[in-house]
């Protein structure tokens, strides 16, 4: 059950520190929560001092006592405690739309696994829904859209999502911040426009997303119109998440790897770049699965952290991306099927390869649902115990 420990209007100590790129001074709280002094005044009243801000410091390129660690998809089926709440709610969407329960499962991995950040329990598909395309999460199959985008008229009918279209996520963020009471930062997130576009055209998961790619080849102008609408919606959404209390945000480009380098620049990176330029309040992470070919270009994005998958060699990634970005990742999620000694050894190898600075430990993609919770804990504990 939820326990409300928070004291609203708790005072924070204002100090001058640097903006997301360490160049423009902004007003911020002692906790290291960033906000632009004009846009985010409302947050001031509820700012809570963070007891653990390792991940924010690592994202900004500051020194940390140890490498911070969290896992993509940490709130989910690896935890029996999640499955119990999920069962009680009846369905995934019911859970996502109930701020109190979304808050509860968001905090579970902090309590149970000891991660250095929470990520708000939601889904990237809330954006297509807020724009006018309802989705269902079909048990053991995945997402399914009744209506898909087929031509220009469908794009015109979509609205640009605004904060109040996603009030349930914002309420879940506010509640989670209160309930976390500064134990760790809360990560907000959204899908990259290309990945959202792919689901809107295809209407479900796919190995190739060939319908979505066909649309790029056959309707490039309309594709840009749709990507533009998704980008505007995503900026509104991420800013609203930050206003509600998210301490950093991550953009997931899960289907980056199916585009050619030239298509990736034109149809994905351009829009990710627009989002990064618009989000100035908190550190931004960009995770583009399979985009090994775009690492040098990603180094030029106006973001703090680049997520790597396990196919991306660490030192090569560092030299392609540059020293001015934090890297996140990148253990193969399948390592967690191995025995404890192997998990420990490989995790330590990974930490040595990244080195002590500008690294946030994570897997190279979301944790698989059939991984044992204790193996996940072994990965996390190994990172937390490691010292250079």
Residues known to be catalytic: 73, 77, 86, 123, 199
Q: H helices within 8-139, ranges in order?
A: 41-44, 54-60, 80-89, 92-96, 99-112, 126-131
- Token representation of residue 292: 């090994």
Segment lying near ligand CP3 (by CB under 6 A), choices 34-42, 71-79, 222-230, 295-303: 71-79
Rounded to 5°, angle at Cα 300 from 296 and 304: 110
- Report the site for ligand CP3 in 94-153 (rule: CB under 6 A): 119, 121, 123-125, 137, 142-143
What's the gap between Cα 276 and its chain centre? 13
**Binding pattern to ligand CP3, positions 299-338, x when CB under 6 A?**
----------------------------------------
**Binding pattern to ligand CP3, positions 245-264, x when CB under 6 A?**
-------x-x----------
Q: Which of residues 49, 92, 144, 148 is near ligand CP3 by CB under 6 A?
A: 92
How far is 187 from 118, CA to CA, in rounded Å?
Answer: 6
- Report the site for ligand CP3 in 351-370 (rule: CB under 6 A): 366
How far is 117 from 122, CA to CA, in rounded Å?
Answer: 15
CA-based nearest residue to 278, from 359, 200, 156, 190? 190
CA distances from 374 to 84, 112, 166, 195 (A): 18, 10, 35, 32
The distance of closest approach from Cβ of residue 138 to ligand CP3 in the complex, given in angstroms and rounded to an integer, is: 9
The distance of closest approach from Cβ of residue 372 to ligand CP3 in the complex, given in angstroms and rounded to an integer, is: 17
Residue-wise burial string across 121-131, b where 16 or more C-beta atoms lie within 10 A, e elsewhere: bbbbbbbbbbb
**Residue number, 49 or 206, with CB nearest to ligand CP3:** 206
The distance of closest approach from Cβ of residue 36 to ligand CP3 in the complex, given in angstroms and rounded to an integer, is: 25
**Residue number, 137 or 278, with CB nearest to ligand CP3:** 137
The distance of closest approach from Cβ of residue 252 to ligand CP3 in the complex, given in angstroms and rounded to an integer, is: 4
CA-based nearest residue to 348, from 335, 365, 367? 335
**Binding pattern to ligand CP3, positions 180-219, x when CB under 6 A?**
---------x---------------x--------------
Segment lying near ligand CP3 (by CB under 6 A), choices 1-9, 44-52, 72-80, 306-314: 72-80
Cis peptide before 330 (omega within 30 of 0): yes
Please tell me the count of residues contacting ligand CP3 according to CB under 6 A: 22
Q: Which of residues 29, 40, 64, 74 is near ligand CP3 by CB under 6 A?
A: 74
Q: Cβ contacts of residue 55 below 8 Å, gap of 6+?
A: 68, 70, 116, 117, 184, 185, 248, 360
How far is 260 from 258, CA to CA, in rounded Å?
Answer: 7
**Residue number, 28 or 115, with CB nearest to ligand CP3:** 115
The distance of closest approach from Cβ of residue 207 to ligand CP3 in the complex, given in angstroms and rounded to an integer, is: 12
How far is 270 from 24, CA to CA, in rounded Å?
Answer: 24
How far is 25 from 369, CA to CA, in rounded Å?
Answer: 42
- Token representation of residue 385: 């115990």
CA distances from 360 to 97, 308, 329 (A): 30, 10, 7
**Residue number, 339 or 372, with CB nearest to ligand CP3:** 372
**Residue number, 143 or 185, with CB nearest to ligand CP3:** 143
**Residue number, 28 or 249, with CB nearest to ligand CP3:** 249
Q: Which of residues 20, 86, 229, 239 is near ligand CP3 by CB under 6 A?
A: 86
Segment lying near ligand CP3 (by CB under 6 A), choices 1-9, 68-76, 327-335, 374-382: 68-76
**Residue number, 86 or 97, with CB nearest to ligand CP3:** 86
Report the DSSP beta bridge partners of residue 138. 142
- Token representation of residue 55: 């991940």
Strands (E), 256-384: 284-288, 305-307, 326-331, 359-363
Q: Which of residues 72, 200, 308, 351 is near ligand CP3 by CB under 6 A?
A: 72
The distance of closest approach from Cβ of residue 23 to ligand CP3 in the complex, given in angstroms and rounded to an integer, is: 29
Residues lying near ligand CP3 in the complex (CB under 6 A) are found at 72-77, 86, 92, 119, 121, 123-125, 137, 142-143, 189, 205, 252, 254, 289, 366
């Amino acid at each position: 059950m939820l326990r409300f420990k928070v004291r609203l209007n708790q005072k924070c100590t204002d100090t001058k520190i640097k903006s997301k790129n360490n160049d423009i001074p902004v007003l911020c709280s002692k906790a290291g929560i960033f906000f632009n002094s004009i846009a985010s005044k409302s947050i001031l009243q509820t700012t809570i001092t963070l007891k653990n801000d390792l991940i924010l410091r690592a994202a900004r390129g500051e020194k940390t006592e140890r490498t911070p660690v969290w896992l993509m998809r940490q709130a989910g089926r690896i935890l029996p405690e999640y499955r119990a709440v999920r069962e009680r709610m009846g369905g995934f969407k019911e859970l996502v739309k109930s701020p109190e329960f979304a808050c509860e499962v968001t905090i579970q991995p902090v309590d149970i696994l000891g991660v250095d950040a929470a990520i708000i329990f939601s889904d990237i598909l809330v954006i297509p829904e807020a724009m006018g395309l309802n989705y269902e999460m079909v048990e053991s199959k995945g997402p399914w859209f009744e209506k898909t985008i087929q031509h220009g008229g469908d794009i015109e009918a979509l609205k640009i999502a605004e904060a109040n279209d996603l009030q349930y996520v914002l309420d879940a963020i506010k509640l989670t911040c209160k309930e976390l009471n500064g134990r760790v930062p809360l990560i907000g997130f959204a899908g990259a426009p290309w990945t959202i576009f792919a689901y809107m055209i295809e209407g479900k998961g796919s190995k190739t997303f060939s319908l979505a790619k066909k649309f790029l080849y056959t309707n490039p102008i309309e594709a840009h119109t749709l990507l533009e609408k998704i980008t505007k919606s995503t900026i509104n959404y991420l800013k609203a998440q930050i206003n509600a209390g998210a301490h950093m945000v991550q953009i997931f480009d899960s289907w980056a790897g199916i585009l050619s380098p030239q298509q990736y620049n034109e149809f994905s990176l351009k829009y990710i770049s627009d989002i990064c330029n618009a989000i100035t309040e908190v550190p931004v992470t960009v995770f583009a699965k399979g985009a090994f070919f775009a690492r040098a270009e990603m180094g030029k994005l106006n973001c703090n952290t680049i997520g790597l998958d396990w196919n991306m060699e660490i030192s090569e990634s560092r030299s392609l991306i540059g020293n001015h970005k934090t890297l996140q990742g990148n253990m193969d999620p399948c390592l967690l099927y191995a025995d404890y000694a192997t998990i420990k050894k490989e995790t330590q190898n990974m930490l040595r390869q990244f080195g002590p600075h500008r690294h946030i430990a994570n897997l190279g993609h979301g944790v698989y649902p059939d991984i044992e919770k204790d193996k996940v804990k072994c990965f996390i504990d190994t990172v937390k115990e490691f010292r250079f």
